Structure 1
Amino acid sequence: MDESTLSRRLGVAVRKRRVALELSQDKFADVIEMHRAYYASIERGERNVTMWTLWRVAQGLGVKPSDLLGDANL
């Protein structure tokens, strides 16, 4: 599996969790204090996120980073 596939799978998992919370990208990016465009690129799988960024996103979603990785089958 290549890097872009991993990033896309994680992005899909993050998006599903955010949508389940009924939050827009803009609102969620505000919650986690991240620029909306940067956050949107995570959901699109365009970013190879750091552990810190993964932790911030997971905290905003109310889950552990390992939950997101599990959702993405990583």
Structure 2
Amino acid sequence: MEKNQSKKLSLIMLACCLLPIILLVALPAIGITNKSGRFPVLLLYFISHIGIMMFMMRGGGHKSCHGEHDKESQ
């Protein structure tokens, strides 16, 4: 993976992980303390991680991160 792609992936992962956590922490500060207010944030958390996986599969061309090692062992 190129350095630029790696940096882009790191930023996307950081955003998708930190944004829902920050929202969960901020909910009581903005007055949302019930469980129904937390559900959309948790849903966002899981959907963003599915998005990360799809992005990684699309960007990597469905290659194994151990591609060279797998070829040597066969």
If the length of structure 1 is used for normalisation, what is the TM-score? Answer: 0.34
TM-score (norm 2): 0.34
Q: RCO greater where, 1 or 2, for CA within 8 Å and sep 6 or more?
A: 1
Q: Normalized per residue, which structure has more helix? A: 2
